[in-house]
A = this chain, B = another copy of it.
Amino acid sequence: MPASAIRKLVPLSDAAESAGVKVYHLNVGAPDIQSPACAIEGVSKRLETMHHLSYTNSAGLMQLRKDFIEKYYKKVGIDIEVSELLVDVAGSEAFSVAMQIVADRGDEIIVVEPFYTNYQTFAFLNGITLKAVHTDIRAGFAVPDISEFEKLVTPRTKAVLLCNPCNPSGKLFSKEEMLAIGDFCVRHNLFLISDEVYREFCYSEEPHFSAMFIPGAEQNVILADSISKRYNLCGARIGCLISHNKDVMSAALKFAQSRLCPPVLGQYAALGALDTPFSYFDEVREEYIRRRDFAIAALNAMPGVFTPTPMGAFYTVAELPVDSAEAFIKWMLTEFRMDGETVMITPAASFYKTPGEGLRQARIAYVLEVPELEKAMKILAAALQAYPGRLNA
């Protein structure tokens, strides 16, 4: 089993930090935004009268499932019944279970590359082959003509899996792109697993177009969702698997039963979080637009660097003027220091399935406040100038 590309450089940054170096972590999607107070109170209130902490139903607390629907999904236009929503151990469990439900060993799932690297991890664990539709950084990661999807279909193809807005690219799928992919799935009788954990982080005029909105694809779509990013409760480990398809929900419940129940204290945090006013998302969104605008301008001002402007999530993929992004990042962590500081970003090659793609690209998470980002970008610019493996234009 391959090590997580996002986390395998952690020992190098740990070593740097142990040696007293300040590392700006633009490598993980762990933002510094405050969680809504009601989420934290949701837990502390329960603790006051807690006798012991027992299991909940495998599908999650009934009140939480109802509240998810009434207080969140209905408000964003997603119309579901309680039986169509199951509480999972964050988005990770939701999409990995969805993959296991739709595909047996030897089956194939079409992904849009660059994609979240753990899709590959769970495909590997379950003997599923990912087939990638390539999207190009210079085209802003636009979804290509649907004929590129058609080319990949075999008798073993079971689903399309995408992340919208996309980790790592920040790509926001347009309504037209989602409709085209939905139509493709329906025509070929494929599932559409839509990972929408960044739904509230969209920077376009148009609202987010969920896979749940695709007419006629009601039996095809499986939504993987999470409270981690939405309320900055990554550590709660609470998400949802949602589908109108009864067979999918019945299979999902069996998987849920095998791990007994989702974390209960996290479920309390979710219960509390659902009372967050939607204005919280607006404020967070404004903050991320500030950070994005700063980071994208700073990156594109560095000679030889190119990144498109992401319209969602809080990541961007940038092409760097280096021999190898991974070698460059290792070098930053082990050798490059500017006033005792350095920067950690993530090599992008593992976000691609097509061999040779993304080797000179990195994912940058703009999860720090602008003044911190400013320092990090200065260090990154200086590192790119000093790096021995720099490519000349």
> Do A90 and B260 have beta carbons less than 8 Å apart?
yes
Q: Does A393 make an interface contact (CB < 8 A)?
A: no
A334 to B65, CA, bound (A): 27
List 13 A-B residue pairs with CB atoms under 8 Å apart, sorted by A's residue number. Answer: A34-B51, A34-B52, A35-B51, A39-B53, A44-B44, A53-B232, A54-B235, A56-B235, A92-B258, A92-B260, A263-B265, A263-B266, A266-B266
Q: Does A30 make an interface contact (CB < 8 A)?
A: yes
Contact of A258 among B40, B54, B105, B121 (CB under 8 A): B121
| Centre residue among A10, A51, A259 by max chain B CB count within 10 A | A259
Q: Does A118 make an interface contact (CB < 8 A)?
A: yes
For chain A, residues 172 to 214, give those with C-beta under 8 angstroms from any C-beta of chain B.
none
Apart from A28-B55, A53-B269, what 12 extra A-B contacts exist at CB < 8 Å?
A1-B251, A4-B58, A39-B53, A40-B53, A53-B235, A93-B259, A118-B258, A234-B261, A235-B263, A236-B264, A265-B265, A266-B266
Q: Does A255 make an interface contact (CB < 8 A)?
A: yes
> Do A30 and B7 have beta carbons less than 8 Å apart?
no
Residue of B nearest to A101 (CB): B1
Q: Does A3 make an interface contact (CB < 8 A)?
A: yes
> Do A265 and B235 have beta carbons less than 8 Å apart?
yes
Contact of A236 among B4, B7, B265 (CB under 8 A): B265
CB-defined interface of A15-39 with B at 8 Å, one 1/0 digit per residue? 0000000000000101111110001
Q: Does A233 make an interface contact (CB < 8 A)?
A: yes
For chain A, residues 43 to 93, give those with C-beta under 8 angstroms from any C-beta of chain B.
43-44, 47-48, 50-58, 89-90, 92-93
Q: Does A294 make an interface contact (CB < 8 A)?
A: no
Residues in B whose Cβ lies below 8 Å from that of A232: 52-54
For chain A, residues 249 to 282, give those with C-beta under 8 angstroms from any C-beta of chain B.
251, 253-255, 257-266, 269
Give chain B nearest CB distance to A193 CB in angstroms. 17
Q: Does A219 make an interface contact (CB < 8 A)?
A: no
> Do B264 and A4 have beta carbons less than 8 Å apart?
no
Give chain B nearest CB distance to A238 CB in angstroms. 8
A237 to B264, CA, bound (A): 8
Contact A52-B28, Cβ < 8 Å, known A125-B258, A265-B235: no
Residues in B whose Cβ lies below 8 Å from that of A40: 47, 50, 53
| Centre residue among A31, A235, A261 by max chain B CB count within 10 A | A235
A96 to B259, CA, bound (A): 10
> Do A55 and B234 have beta carbons less than 8 Å apart?
yes
Give chain B nearest CB distance to A230 CB in angstroms. 12
Residues in B whose Cβ lies below 8 Å from that of A331: none
Q: Does A324 make an interface contact (CB < 8 A)?
A: no
Closest 4 CB pairs of A and B: A235-B264, A263-B263, A265-B265, A4-B257
A7 to B54, CA, bound (A): 15
Residues in B whose Cβ lies below 8 Å from that of A304: none
For chain A, residues 122 to 140, give those with C-beta under 8 angstroms from any C-beta of chain B.
122, 125, 127
Contact A47-B43, Cβ < 8 Å, known A3-B257, A237-B264, A259-B93: yes
Contact A89-B89, Cβ < 8 Å, known A235-B264, A262-B237: yes
Q: Does A100 make an interface contact (CB < 8 A)?
A: yes
Q: Does A2 make an interface contact (CB < 8 A)?
A: yes
> Do A30 and B1 have beta carbons less than 8 Å apart?
no
Contact A254-B1, Cβ < 8 Å, known A89-B259, A237-B263, A261-B235: yes
A118 to B255, CA, bound (A): 11
> Do A265 and B258 have beta carbons less than 8 Å apart?
no
